[in-house]
Structures are given as C-alpha cells and as structure tokens.
Structure 1
Amino acid sequence: MDELTYTEVGATAGELPPGYHHVRAQRIVGHGEEDFARAADDLFAGLVQRRAGASIRLSEVPLRTGTHIEMRLRLGPFAFTIPCLVVWAERTAEFCGFAYGTLPGHPERGEERFELRLLASGDVLFSIVAFSAPGRWFTRLGGPIARNVQARWTRRYLAALGPRRP
C-alpha cells in the first residue's frame, strides 16, 4: 500500500483524533431509493469533487478501497495537485461511502469520509467527516486561510449532490 501521510487510518469512522482540525457537515440531498441510488453512483464516480470544481482522476470507476485519486485545484493563480488513496469503501442498499487518506504531495495530511444514508423517513442524508493538519510549508504558513479554503470546499462538496434539475 502507498505511504499515507498520517497514522490514524480509519479514524473518520469514529472519534476523531486530537491534534487535527475536525470537520463534520451534512445535508439532505434527496428522497427515496431512486435519489439514493443516483447519489451513490455519482459519489463512487468522483462526481462530488468534479461538480465542486476540482479536476479529478480515479484509477478505477467506480472507486473502491485501494483506488488512487488525483485531484487538481486552482485557487486564483495557484494550482495544486492533491493525491489521495481510498482507505475504505462500502455500498449497500441503504448506506454507502468511502474515505480517502492523504499521500505525499497533498497540501494537508489526514482523512476525509463521504457517506450517504437512506433514512427511515426516506430522506437521503449526505455526510462529510474529516480531520486534517497542514502537510506542506504553505499550508502551515497560511493556517487560517487553509481552514477557510477547506470550509469552502466542504460546502461545495455538500452542494454537489442533490436532485438533478431538467
């Protein structure tokens, strides 16, 4: 397995580790089995990141544990390569998700988890859980700016799933 840049692999599934910035966010993105299935297909094809504005390349689609992800983001005049490895992926009729961890070269170090649940009410809940710390000199130097960028991307990810409009 590739060398991840953190040791707490899988921690987004439970209590988040100390010493990192933590993110927990969620949104209802649809209702019913059809919306859940569509959102799950989109999630496992990398469309959340693409719709949020990242260029993304997956080593395989649909993604699974072991899939390499390379994202590219532009922030003004700067472009960043963001390499990740899927460390967990699961899909059932009422639950699915994956988590990716950071690889060398990523601006941060940590893990991000994306989950969809078909609730008993029929609502489709999209959740994001992450922990991260600066991984490169420029994210250490730009601490508060990096947190603002992360918060903006989390909002964009949450907005990326939902009913398709005609």
Structure 2
Amino acid sequence: MTRLISTGRDTVNYPDRGATAHRPLPAGYHHLHHRTRIGEGRAAFEAAGTAVTTFLAHRTSGMRVRTSAADPAAAVRPGLRVEVGIGLGPLRISAPCEVIWTAYEPTRTGFAYGTLAGHPECGEESFVVDIDGDGAVWFTVTAFSRPNSWYTRLAGPVVPVLQHAYARFLGRHVRGLAAAA
C-alpha cells in the first residue's frame, strides 16, 4: 500500500506534493521517467527493494546521504528528512529533501522524496522497484523538477541531462546490488 503523508504544514518547496505517486506528472516541470530491468525473481526484488528503501543504493553510488532517522540504515518512512550531498569536496552541493510517500507492497517497493528550501531544484523524485507477473524485476525513477537556484538556472538544459544520466547509472547500480545479494 502506498502511504502518502501530509504534514499539517507543507514543508516542501513546490505545490504538487505526492504527484509522483500517480500520473500525469504536473505541468511546468521537466519530467524524467527511466526504467531499468534489474533481474528475475523474488530474491532480486527483495534485494533491490531493500537497497532502494535504506538508501544503500544512493550511498554506494557515491552520494553522501544523511537522514533524520536514529538508525541511518533503517527503511524510509514518510516524513523522514534526508540531505543528499551531490558533487565532490568543496564543490559538493547539499540537497535537503523529505520523504513524501512510501510503498511496501508484495509487488512494489519504493519511495519518493520532495525538495525542501535550500535544494538547488524544486520538485519530487521517486525510486520504485516492481516485480511483474513473469518475475521480471524493474527499477524506475520518476521525477518532476525545475531550477530553484541561480546555478541550476544558469546550467539550463544540462541539469535534465545529468539527472537522466544519474537515473541510468543508479539503475545499473541497483542491478549490481541485487545480483550480489
């Protein structure tokens, strides 16, 4: 069951909270949808789902991830605050987010986080692992975003290209984590 949380006040910096949980994505944003085949069977589904919902996939792909959870390896839950570090050394950009919804279902596992004040973009991104009726396991990144800082506005069309490249890279990385489990 997909669990969408709505706090008493909206803390995200965009009006379309939870929109990655359904289609169509809202207008006025760059849209990203990338799907990668991960493998076959329940073991691949469970390994990939755990890697995604504990931020293992993000952490081991080179991102720095800090959460508001007491146990940083705990599974995501709605309302969890996350800071993702993008870049290297002094060029690292902090990207604060909040988990908007989670899905812990027999054939679907994942979550979405939305951007908070201080994030270079505004929008939402979901990371979902599915297993279909034939046992094929898929990892899907869905996002909508637009610039929220001077440097992402200046970068213009380069930002969506980088986002898509990272979605492809993360898909291959999740495939490797699932195969190693």
| TM-score interval (norm. to shorter) | over 0.9
In structure 1, the residue matched to 2:31 is: 22
Q: Secondary structure at the match of 2:93?
A: strand
Aligned pairs, how many?
Answer: 166
1:73-104 Cα shifts (integer Å, max 9, x gaps): 11586110010000000202211110000001
Q: Which consecutive segments of 4 or more residues in structure 1 shift more than 6 A?
A: none
Q: Secondary structure at the match of 1:23?
A: strand
| Residue 105 (structure 1) aligned with residue 118 (structure 2) | yes
1:120-159 Cα shifts (integer Å, max 9, x gaps): 1101111111000001111011112222221221122212
Q: Distance in 2 between matches of 1:123 and 1:141?
A: 40
Q: Distance in 1 between matches of 2:157 and 2:108?
A: 34
Q: Distance in 2 between matches of 1:158 and 1:150?
A: 12
Please report how far the alpha carbon of residue 105 of structure 1 lies from its aligned counterpart in structure 2 after TM superposition: 0.7
Report 1:6-155 matches (<5 A).
6-13=14-21, 14-60=23-69, 61-74=74-87, 78-155=91-168
Question: What is the root-mean-square deviation of aligned Cα atoms in Å?
Answer: 1.7
Structure 2: unaligned runs, 5 residues or longer: 1-6
Amino acid aligned to 2:18 = G
In structure 1, the residue matched to 2:4 is: none
Quote the sequence identity (%).
Answer: 37
Structure 1: unaligned runs, 5 residues or longer: none
